Amino acid sequence: MDKHIDEVGEAVGAALSAYAAERPPVELRDRILRDVARRGRRAPRWWQQRPILIGAVASALLLAASLAWGLSLNAALAEERTLRAQLQDAAAKDEVVFEVVDARNVQKTTLRSTVDDSPTAPYAKVFVRPDMPYVVAMAGRLAPPAPGRAYHLYLDGRRVGTLAPNDAGFSYFVYRADAVGVSYQQARVVLESETASDASGQTVLTGSR
């Protein structure tokens, strides 16, 4: 780059000398060289616009993420409303269910399919209260089990009940523990033999607290 500028300077000096009686002043030559160097090092326009392009891409990605989150939230709310409506129909006379599910201090765990993440995948929810000995479990969109098979709910390694889906794939049950404040880390719905109690079958739904 510097060699090129020097060559330009010599050419400029020679051209000026050809039309002048005296050699051009050194200051004029240096000023021309500085101008040439400044123009040669000027950043291209696309580089100056790069921050604008980056900002536009970031805004587009943020918008896409917001839309995806909104769709996911709407799906979860619709799922919750459907499950609640089914529960009201099935457990209308079972008051303890709503004492647990509707409590301000309720603790809820959502169980998801281990193999299916589509909008029509089965799911389940487990509700407990720290001041009550009950576990309320419900599931939606469960396929009918084969004869001799059943969906068992396990809290950690303890079987607490069976989910028997109706024609709509919905099921619920209430389990009463020996003491208040049922504690667990993982909940699983296992499809296995009706008489099994060791979670030796296929885990179809799982969730952690």
> Is 108 contained in some domain?
yes
Domain identity same for 139 and 201: yes
Q: Write down the pLDDT at residue 54.
A: 72
> Is 73 contained in some domain?
no
Domain identity same for 202 and 130: yes
- Angle formed by the axes of helices 26-40 and 2-18, to 10°? 140
Distance CA 26, CA 5 (A): 15
User: In sequence order, which residues have a C-beta less than 8 Å from that of residue 63 and are 6 or more positions away?
Assistant: none
Domain identity same for 125 and 198: yes
User: In sequence order, which residues have a C-beta less than 8 Å from that of residue 108 and are 6 or more positions away?
Assistant: 125, 126, 127
Domain identity same for 131 and 204: yes
Domain identity same for 34 and 112: no
Query: How far from the centroid of its chain's Cα atoms is residue 38's Cα?
Result: 50
> Is 45 contained in some domain?
no
Domain identity same for 130 and 192: yes
Q: What is the DSSP string of 20-64?
A: -SSPPPHHHHHHHHHHHHHHHTPPPHHHHTHHHHHHHHHHHHHHH
> Is 113 contained in some domain?
yes
Of residues 122, 130, 102, the one with CA closest to residue 209: 130
Residue at token pair 């950043």: 43
Structure tokens at 74: 């709407």
pLDDT digits (tens, 9 = 90+) for 2-61: 555 455 455 545 555 554 445 556 666 666 666 656 655 555 565 566 666 676 666 667
> Is 78 contained in some domain?
no
Distance CA 111, CA 163 (A): 13
Domain identity same for 129 and 198: yes
* CATH number of the domain to which 98 belongs: 2.60.40.200
Domain identity same for 36 and 105: no
Q: Which domain holds residue 15?
A: 2-40
**Domain count across the chain:** 2
> Is 164 contained in some domain?
yes
> Is 175 contained in some domain?
yes
Domain identity same for 101 and 35: no
> Is 198 contained in some domain?
yes
Q: Write down the pLDDT at residue 72.
A: 52
Domain identity same for 109 and 200: yes
Query: Does the pLDDT at position 177 exceed 90?
Result: yes
User: In sequence order, which residues have a C-beta less than 8 Å from that of residue 200 and are 6 or more positions away?
Assistant: 190, 192
Q: Write down the pLDDT at residue 32.
A: 63
pLDDT digits (tens, 9 = 90+) for 57-114: 666 677 666 655 554 556 556 666 666 677 766 666 788 999 999 999 999 999 999 9
